[in-house]
Chain A
Amino acid sequence: MSSDVHSTGPDPATIAPVGADIIAAIKAAGVRHVMSVPDIVTSNGILFPLASDADVRLVRVCKEDEGVGICAGLSYCRQRAILLMQHTGLLDSINAMRAVAVEYALPIVMMVGLLEKEPGVLPTDSRRYGVRIVQPILDAMGIRHVLIETQVDVGEVQAAIEAAYAQSKPVVILFGRRPTA
């Protein structure tokens, strides 16, 4: 049977990821603790709503590698957490990630805004050096990463978190575009 019924809504493959859906995915994955240094990419769509969400505890950290340690401690208590930050913070946390996340094989989940990445451009093709090097560094470290660029990609968030905890391995969820509030 053919159909001439077409959706009139925007194509999820082209629109920005929806913050509320990302938060729903985080919660559905069992996360109840959020560590964060504010990041303008994820500020309005994720951090502000989480800061007033009674279902999660937000711990504001002074520096991103603190969050790696806090997430590690929580993981021994079977409690799920995410570390929300900008890619500059990820670059600053590489030694902690190397030891705590990779060598100790802990489920450290990092959600990372790629500041000033151009919309629709692959991170590795960005004009921004700091953005361009993120995925190759994660590859060199053997850390799984997923890229959330549009609403279609949001479906990967819950699975990525659950896989990290099931396998006791780190994962980095990169945001190439600002999630909408």
Chain B
Amino acid sequence: MTMRRDECLRLLARHVPEEIVVAVYSAAFDWVNIRPHVLNYFSVGAMGLATSHALGLALGLPARRIIVLDGDGSLLMNLGSLVTVANAAPKNFIHFVCENGTYEANGVHPIPGRGRVSFAGLARAAGYAKVYSLSELPELELAIEEILAADGPVFVNLKLIPGEKAVPDYDALYAASRRAAFRAAIAAL
């Protein structure tokens, strides 16, 4: 496994310049630097709730593609949301999970089941419409257009290593001004 998160996100950013993106923790810190945009949504409030906020956005804006940049530890905290999302079946929902096997933002401790749990298997069993598991950047490059064109909910497990890390600034990421700007941007769509 040689795929780096920052490289994955740079690749993704080239394909989704204007989409609504819900991102958490380390992926969020990378993403806000790679693709600074008013339609980035970071204030999920509680670990694990990215999929839930994104489902609300997907139901509220069915004509817009909603992209989630989740973490493996985060998803483990809200595994039932896989079933909820699959059952609600939003076609505009694309769920990337950055699997680094650790709680990277909390001391790099290993997640339970590291290396044994299959996130793609969980998503498939939950009923996601399309499921990918990728561990090399060329694979992502090849698949990205198909991923973004597919009817959702789509699940993309990215097995990766952190790569070049951004400096975490929680206050800036969760600023009330960012939420207000997001709300205004949604209203203007």
Whether the pair A69, B84 counts as a contact (CB closer than 8 A) is no
Interchain CB contact under 8 A, B59 and A104: no
Residues of chain B in range 171-189 having any CB-CB distance to chain A below 8 Å: 176, 179, 182-183, 186-187
A33: chain B residues within 8 A (beta carbon): 59
Size class of the B contact interface (CB-based, 8 Å) = 20 to 34
User: CA–CA, A108 to B41, complex, Å?
Assistant: 18
**B83 within 8 Å of A (CB atoms):** yes
Contact assessment for B52 and A69 in the assembled complex, using a CB-CB cutoff below 8 Å: yes
Seen from chain A, the residues whose Cβ lies within 8 Å of a Cβ on chain B are 33, 57, 59-63, 65-79, 81, 95-96, 98-100, 103-104
Residues on A with beta carbons closer than 8 Å to the beta carbon of B88:
59
Cβ contact within 8 Å between A73 and B54: yes
Q: Which of A79, A81, A96 contacts B45 (CB 8 A)?
A: A96
B182: A residues at CB distance < 8 A: 76
Q: Complex: how many Å from CA A32 to CA B41?
A: 23
- The CA of A167 and the CA of B44, in the complex, are separated in Å by 20
From known contacts A73-B52, A73-B60, A77-B56, infer whether A66 and B45 are also in contact, taking CB-CB under 8 Å.
no
**Choice from B43, B51, B52, B60 contacting A67 with Cβ under 8 Å:** B52
Q: Is the interface of B mostly helix, strand, loop or mixed?
A: helix
**Other 14 A-B pairs with CB < 8 A, given A59-B59, A62-B83, A76-B60:** A68-B46, A69-B46, A71-B56, A73-B56, A73-B58, A76-B56, A76-B183, A78-B60, A79-B60, A98-B46, A100-B44, A100-B45, A100-B46, A104-B43
Whether B52 contacts A68 by the Cβ 8 Å rule is: yes
Interface membership of B87, Cβ < 8 A: yes
| Chain B residues numbered 17-66 whose CB sits less than 8 Å from any CB in chain A | 41, 43-46, 48-61
CB pair A66 B59 closer than 8 Å? no
B45 close to A104 (CB less than 8 A) = yes
In contact, B55 and A73 (Cβ under 8 angstroms):
yes
Q: Can you name 14 A-B residue pairings with CB atoms under 8 Å? A: A59-B87, A60-B87, A61-B81, A62-B84, A65-B48, A66-B55, A66-B78, A66-B84, A69-B51, A69-B55, A70-B59, A77-B59, A77-B60, A78-B186
Closest to B182 in A: A76
Within 55-103 of B, Cβ neighbours of A (below 8 Å) are at 55-61, 78, 80-81, 83-84, 87-88
Chain B residue at smallest Cβ distance from A58: B88
Contact B53 A70 (CB under 8 A): yes
Question: Which of these, B52, B57, B58, contacts A66 with CB under 8 Å?
Answer: B52
**Are B49 and A74 in contact, with the CB atoms below 8 A?**
no
For the complex of A and B, list the 7 residue pairs with the smallest distance between their C-beta atoms, beginning with the closest. A73-B56, A77-B60, A69-B52, A62-B80, A99-B45, A100-B45, A69-B49
